[in-house]
Structure 1
C-alpha cells in the first residue's frame, strides 16, 4: 500500500490519515510519500510507523489547484513513473485530500500508473460557501466536479459527508469515523490574561487561523454586538496559527476589542485552557468533523457551533446558529449568558464518537482499505 500526503500542515485530517497509515505499516510493507515541508507529519510517521520507504515530496503552491493541477505534468509524470516501478508490490495508493482540490497530483499519477486510487476526504464544499463570487464560484465548481470523478473510491468521516459526496460521484464510499485521544490535562505554565478572573465569562475558539473556513471574523463581530447588548464581562481566546492571523488581529483592534479578545497562537496546553473556559465556540463556514469538537465534548464543555454538516448532527438545535451570521452567533452567546446552567446537549452520534479510540479507528480504516482494494490489498500482503 502506498500513502500520499502533500499537505504542508499537520492538522486533524493529516493526523487521522497518518495514524491509519502508521498502524498499517507496522505489519504490512507500506510506502509513504509526504511533503518535505511538513516536519510534524514526517516526525509523527517515523515515530509511530515502520514504512519501508518515506519519500519526500517537494513543496509547491497549492492555490488554484483545481485548475493548475492540469499543468503540473513534470511532477505528475515523475510520480507516475515511481508508482509504475512499485506497481507489482503496491497496486493501491491512498491519497489524503483535505479538500477535493488537494492531493490531485497523487490521484492523477496513480491513475496514469494504473493503480487503484482511494481518496481519504473529510468534507464536501461549494466555492460559494467558501466566499467566492457567484460566477467564479460556479466556474470553480465545474472544475472540481471533474476532480470528484478521478478516484476509484473514497473513505470519508461521517454518513452526512458520504451523502454529500454521493451527489458528486458514483464511486464506492466507506465511512470511517474519527476519534480523539483521551489526554491528561497539563499544567498551564503561562495562563492567558484573565483566565483566573471569576468575574469574566470565558469563550474559546480553537483552530487554524483561516477565516474563510473557520469563521474567526464572525466571532469577533459577534462579540462586538454582545458587548453593546450586555454588561457581562467577557473574554475570548482564539487559539491557533495560520495565514489570517494579521487579518483577524486587525479586526480585533478595529472594533476596540483588544482588551477582551486574545490571540494565543498554538498552545500545547490548549485542552487545559479549554477546560477553564465556559463556552467553546465553533463558527466554521464549512467543515468535516473537527477533532476540536470531540476534544471539547470529552471535556464535557458547553459548545455552540454553526449549523452545518460537521456540527448539526452532533449538537441539538438549541446549540447551533446560522453560519456566516454574526447576529445569529451573538444571539446564541447572549442566550448562554442569560442561562448559564443550560449546557449543550450531545447527540448519540457525538457520544459514540468520543467513546472511540485509536484501535477502533485503525481497525475500521484497515477494513475499508481492504474492501475498496477489491482483494488487491489482501494479495499484496501474502
Structure 2
C-alpha cells in the first residue's frame, strides 16, 4: 500500500443526484486519502469543476453508459488499463453499471481492495423483466469480486441476499448522511408563495420517480387546497409540462427546475412526497425530515428505516395514487398532525448525519487497507 492510500471512486453518471452527492461528500469529507473520481459519459460540468477545485482528480470514461450492455466490455477494459497505470490501493464503485464495470476491471487490474455501494435497488415492478434478469446475473457475478458491499439500509442488504447476491459477511450498512444544520432555522424561499398546503417533491425528473403517481393523486384532491412544487431537472421535464397542461394544473403545480436553495424551499413548504418505484435510502427524505416536514413516500428499500409510518409520515405502496391522495388529504386537513409528524422526523433524523456516515465509511476503509 502507498504511504497515503490511493482510492479510486467510479460512478456511472456524475449528475446532481443523491448517489453523486454521497460520493462527493465522501471524497471531500474523508482526510488522509488521495482520491480520484471516475465517471461515465454523462456528467454535469459543475460537479466535475467542484471536485477539481477541491484538489480531487477526475477521469471520464465515455464507454460507461446508463444501461448500455454494448459498451460494457470496452468500458471494463478501459477502466482496468487506468487502474493498472495508477496502482490504486482501493476501488470504490457506485451505482449499478459502474459497480459491475468497476469491479470486473479491479479484478483484471489486481486492485488489492474493492468496495461497492448500492445507492438504490435496481429491481422494480415497472422495469423490463429481461433487463431485470440481466442486472441480477451481473450483480451475482460481480459480488465475489467485492470485499465489502455497502448498502444504505439493512432492508437493501436483506433484499440482495434473498436474490443470491453475495454473502452476509460482505455487507455493511452505512446510512446516507447530510449536514443536518443546513436544514434548521432557515429563512423560507420567497417565491414559494402558493395558496393552501404547499406540497414539495424534489428529485431528478426521470422515469421511476413516481411523478405520474403524484399527478394522478392530485386529480383526487381539491385544487384550491394545495400548491405543488416540483424541484429538479431531467429527461421527463417536457412530458411533465405536457401532463400538467393536459390536466389543467398550471395554477396548481410549479416546475422549478434545478435549485441550489433546497433548504429554503423546504422551509417554505408543509408536506414532502416521494412516490418512487425504486430508491435506496434517499438523502432528500433525510433533508425533508431535518426541515421538519411530514413525509409521504413509498414503502420500499431503505425508506421504512427513515420514515416511521404513522409517526413521522406515511408509507404507501408503489403506484398507489389512491393511497397517496388519501394520506395527503389527511395531512392537508390537520395542521396539528403535520406539526407532530414534522417534530418526530426531526428527532428521528439524527442517525443520518454526515459525521456518522463518514465515520462508518472510514471504518470500512481502514479494515480493508
The TM-score normalised by the length of structure 2 is 0.84
Which residues of structure 2 form unaligned runs of 5+? 1-5
Aligned residue for 1:40, secondary structure, equals helix
Q: Which residue of 1 aligns with 2:66?
A: 63
Tell me which of 337, 361, 365 is aligned to 1:365. Answer: 361
1:297 CA displacement: 1.0
Aligned residue for 1:225, secondary structure, equals coil
Structure 1 residues 283, 16: closer, same or farther in 2, change over 3 A?
same
Q: Which residue of 2 aligns with 1:380?
A: none
Q: Which residue of 1 aligns with 2:198?
A: 202
Q: Which residue of 2 aligns with 1:5?
A: 10
1:303 CA displacement: 1.6
Tell me which of 329, 332, 335 is aligned to 1:334. Answer: 329
The TM-score normalised by the length of structure 1 is 0.82
Structure 1 residues 207, 31: closer, same or farther in 2, change over 3 A?
closer
Q: Which residue of 1 aligns with 2:26?
A: 20
1:205 CA displacement: 0.7
2:117 is the alignment partner of 1:120:
yes
8 Å contact from structure 1 (residues 313, 349) kept in 2: no
Q: Which residue of 1 aligns with 2:233?
A: 241
1:15-54 CA-partner distances (Å, limit 9, x unpaired) = 2122222334x42334333458342332332344x44xx2
Structure 1 residues 358, 46: closer, same or farther in 2, change over 3 A?
farther
Aligned residue for 1:241, secondary structure, equals coil
8 Å contact from structure 1 (residues 179, 291) kept in 2: yes
Deviates more, 1:244-253 or 1:216-225: 244-253
Deviates more, 1:347-356 or 1:285-294: 347-356
Structure 1 residues 350, 146: closer, same or farther in 2, change over 3 A?
farther
Aligned residue for 2:171, secondary structure, equals strand
Aligned residue for 2:219, secondary structure, equals helix
8 Å contact from structure 1 (residues 122, 288) kept in 2: yes
In 2, Cα distance between equivalents of 1:267 and 1:153: 35
Structure 1 residues 152, 346: closer, same or farther in 2, change over 3 A?
farther
2:108 is the alignment partner of 1:107:
no
1:134 CA displacement: 4.3
8 Å contact from structure 1 (residues 8, 59) kept in 2: no
1:244 CA displacement: 0.8
2:276 is the alignment partner of 1:280:
no
Structure 1 residues 258, 18: closer, same or farther in 2, change over 3 A?
same
Deviates more, 1:2-11 or 1:256-265: 2-11
8 Å contact from structure 2 (residues 188, 266) kept in 1: no
Q: Which residue of 1 aligns with 2:3?
A: none
1:149 CA displacement: 4.5
8 Å contact from structure 1 (residues 186, 272) kept in 2: yes
